[in-house]
Amino acid sequence: MTCRLFASTGIKSDIPGSTTILCRDTRMAEPHIELIDVYKTVARQPGALSRSEILSGVSLKVYRGELITLMGPSGTGKSTLLRLINRLTEADSGTILVDSVNIKDYDPRELRRRIGMVFQTPVLFKGSVRDNISFGKKLWHTDADIEALASEAAIPEELLDADATHLSVGEKQRVSIARALANKPEALLLDEPTSALDRASAEKVESLLLRLQVEHNLTMLWVTHERAQARRVSRHNYVLEDGKLREEHG
């Protein structure tokens, strides 16, 4: 077995006939995304005086090109943890770094271009599939090739001019992934990207995400309720429970 180190290290080791896997090399690179002692409380009822702590000193390092999964009981704060990273919500205390820079020092729009998000239920706006995929390209003036992205996301060419709101949920999820890629992101936050899909569509989207992760060297944080899926897609599986994050071994 050989390790294909993360592309940012610039080192590749492929010995013919051996198995090549992605390996974490903590000696050679700074984490791409790092959470240091993050606390987050929420008000359970609007206007309530007391707040509940859902993250109690969470620390995590994710390296460039690495895929980690997040599991844990419902309501423990997995989505909140993702949303903290692209500043859809703010931590009460602690530090979050992207490329060693505090996320508060980024323009939030640029942060969200770099770190895309895919939700459990794909939300597309009224308009064609092409319009939906082009959204980020227009916003951030990237040179994304819409036809190429559609093809990468296994969206047939004849669907490009179809009304996006009329697609099946599986097709919509593939469009939302292509739309996220049009921003030329470096990382994707995946909030249960397959759990609203039937089995066949879920398998397609799972293998699509895995292929894109390798082809684009994307860092991915993938929330899932399925332990089997977590194990299929990554060797770095974390569980969030009682405000704490722990890595699962074995």
Ligand X SMILES: Nc1ncnc2c1ncn2[C@@H]1O[C@H](COP(=O)(O)OP(=O)(O)OP(=O)(O)O)[C@@H](O)[C@H]1O
- Interface with ligand X (CB under 6 A): 42-43, 54, 72, 74-80
- Helices marked H in 37-145: 78-85, 108-114, 129-140
In Å, how far are 92, 158, 196, 201 from 193, measured between CA atoms? 27, 24, 7, 11
Tokens representing 72 are 């844990």
Residue 47 beta carbon to ligand X: minimum distance, rounded to whole angstroms: 11
**Residues 172, 126: Cα–Cα separation, whole Å:** 12
Residue 75 beta carbon to ligand X: minimum distance, rounded to whole angstroms: 4
Comparison of 142 and 195: residue with beta carbon closer to ligand X: 195
Residue 109 beta carbon to ligand X: minimum distance, rounded to whole angstroms: 21
Residue 195 beta carbon to ligand X: minimum distance, rounded to whole angstroms: 9
Q: Running DSSP on this structure, what letter comes out for residue 49? A: S
Comparison of 25 and 53: residue with beta carbon closer to ligand X: 53
Comparison of 54 and 177: residue with beta carbon closer to ligand X: 54
Comparison of 211 and 225: residue with beta carbon closer to ligand X: 225
Comparison of 80 and 217: residue with beta carbon closer to ligand X: 80
**Residue 233: how many CA atoms within 13 Å on its side-chain side?**
36
Is beta strand 2-4 parallel, antiparallel or unpaired with respect to 20-22?
parallel
**Residues 153, 219: Cα–Cα separation, whole Å:** 18
Q: Which helix (H) or strand (E) holds 143?
A: none
Residue 11 beta carbon to ligand X: minimum distance, rounded to whole angstroms: 36
CB-based contact 206:229 (threshold 8 Å): yes
Residue 54 beta carbon to ligand X: minimum distance, rounded to whole angstroms: 5
Comparison of 19 and 45: residue with beta carbon closer to ligand X: 45
